[in-house]
Structure 1
Amino acid sequence: MAHIESPQANEQYFSASPSSKDVRHEMHVTLRGHEARVETSNGVFSAHRVDLGTSVLLRHAPQPPERGDFLDIGCGWGAISLALALESPQAEVYAIDVNERAIELTERNAELNGCTNIHVGDADDVPEGLEFELIWSNPPIRIGKEELHTLLMTWLPRLAPDGYAYLVVQKNLGSDSLMRWLADALSDAYEVDKYASSKGYRVIEVHRLH
């Protein structure tokens, strides 16, 4: 990875309330060709740059639909949500995280970049029964296999018919085994494939057929 978080940082960005001091700093980033001004802080994932895995996902994932309901699982400070909202301004983007500071930052960054189509919160803030035409995620692999599986099986079954999910996972953190697990765990209504490989990461595609 381009940046290895310390164990303490890992614990913080998986926590609802990070214990580190909230020190904001500003960055200018390019997200799928869109320039964005963002604020980040301590205690959130990849606070000082766009994470390498996220960069791989943004570089390789196909063009999103012009409209629909999209989901970013584990939004951090909002890189993926911003990319989706800027690329598809007629879509509604739901950005979720357990980390309260990440939620605040994504809200702030949506405001800074005029993305009124981003809806930020935790899992309980997503409307019940809403299905998604598109899910993009750099999922939190380090929360542990059982928790990760629970997280993915909460949201992937909420793909709309003919909806797609794109997940970026580091190869040496189990991308191939996760792909096999998803293929077994999801019903025959889903296809799971490797979509792209780059810089030690796989982009996994999940397609709901019907």
Structure 2
Amino acid sequence: MRQITSSAFTAPAQRTNLRQAGCLNKAVPSRVQHAHRLTWHPSFRKTTGPAFKRETTRLFTMLRYIASLMLIGGFASSQHANAEPVEIDDLKDNIAKLAAKLPPGSKKQVSYKKDIEPLFKKSCVNCHGPDKRPKGKFRIDTRALALKGGSEGVAIIPGKSDKSPLTYYITYQVVDYEMPPADKQEKYPKLTKEQVSLVRAWIDQGAKYDN
């Protein structure tokens, strides 16, 4: 009689009879016999109880806190973006809000002779140069006088364009201190965002007049 090889597809009753008859050369592995059964992993067990509820409460509390911070931050940013021009006496207290509206400084290495002086001559020097009494006692045609400032104090802080009042004058964020004045823009054009970026970079790079 031909020996029969064990198979996972052999019926249980047939396997018993064949094993008793000595026809099976190997016992069918138990893992094959029970392959159709599902094993319940401990990690699948239902998680309940006071400890689980406490952890869940902590998680949702933390998520609500994070969401609140995001909302507050977004509201503050929108408030900064919508900041209105301020009076000169209020500039210092509002400078952080106004800074949010500034165009970023240029990434290029700025040359005063090539990039800045032409802008100043075209839009600023007429009121803040040597030809007549400078407006606000502020001259911008030489470094020494520019850094000295005018009747409202220092206007340029080398290395800190976001703290320099001049940055807010040329972006029209200080009432009555717009440079150039709004009523003279036809003759002395207001600086564009790109030009303001150059001035910011120039200040951040030291407000040098010799390059």
TM range (shorter): under 0.3
Larger % of strand: which? 1
The higher radius of gyration belongs to 2
Larger % of helix: which? 2
TM-score, structure 1 normalization: 0.26
TM-score, structure 2 normalization: 0.26
